[in-house]
Amino acid sequence: MNISIILAHPDPDSFNHAIAGTCRDVIEGKGHSVFFHDLYAEAFDPVLPPEELSDHSPGEDISGLCTEIQHSDGIIIVHPNWWGMPPAILKGWIDRVLRPEVAYRFLEGDKGEGVPEGLLKAKSVIIFNTSNTSAEREDHVFGDPLENLWKTCIFALCGVKSFYRKMFRTIVTSTPEQRKQWLKEAADIVSDMYTE
């Protein structure tokens, strides 16, 4: 199996990095291949240039990323909840990598107004988020925008059938013992999803 892990957090000492590292260890421990990308460490350029928009062709700097995501059997994305959204660098990754003819296509005669056909090979996706917002406030005040974004607006349209998302909270007041338990939980989730 090929599993893509996409990490979006600027601090290498962050809990997001610990989660992503745990995921990689579990996947590699099962003998699978990992496409691992720390977007900040790699200085990923999130800006979608006009030429990529007009001709739908990926630039040279992201063609390899597009190929990897097309050949991934599973996808794991790790990022913090910032203003109910992913960090800007990850939004740019969505714009540039989950692009037409890579992640989805519109059917013949559809100029882009309809529902696209999903093209991703991945059977499953796991999203791990961190937050300093309580679950009650997230659900009742904000309506959990990250769940809607990842599940409905992105991966359902890209053809990925199995979706799992876990939010770890509240990071700012968490103890080392809580974080250790959370990492075990993340490892168990990944191990259960990718058992083969």
75 vs 109: CA distance, rounded Å: 31
Q: In sequence order, what are the residues at sequence separation of 6 or more whose Cβ sits closer than 8 angstroms to the Cβ of residue 153?
A: none
Highest mean pLDDT among 18-22, 59-63, 138-142: 18-22
26 vs 73: CA distance, rounded Å: 15
More reliable by pLDDT, 184 or 57: 184
Domains (ranges, CATH) in the chain? 2-193 (3.40.50.360)
At 161, the amino acid letter reads K
pTM of the model: 0.92
Q: How high is the pLDDT of residue 132? A: 81
Q: How high is the pLDDT of residue 196? A: 66
pLDDT, tens digit, for every residue of 105-153? 988 777 667 778 999 999 999 999 998 876 676 666 666 788 899 999 9
* Numbers of helices and strands, H then E, in the chain: 7, 7
Distance of CA 88 to the CA centre of its chain: 13
- For residues 146-163, give the mean pLDDT: 93
16 vs 130: CA distance, rounded Å: 7
7 vs 16: CA distance, rounded Å: 7
Calculate what percentage of the chain has a pLDDT beyond 90: 72
Inform me whether the pLDDT recorded for 195 exceeds 90. Answer: no
Averaged confidence pLDDT in the chain: 91
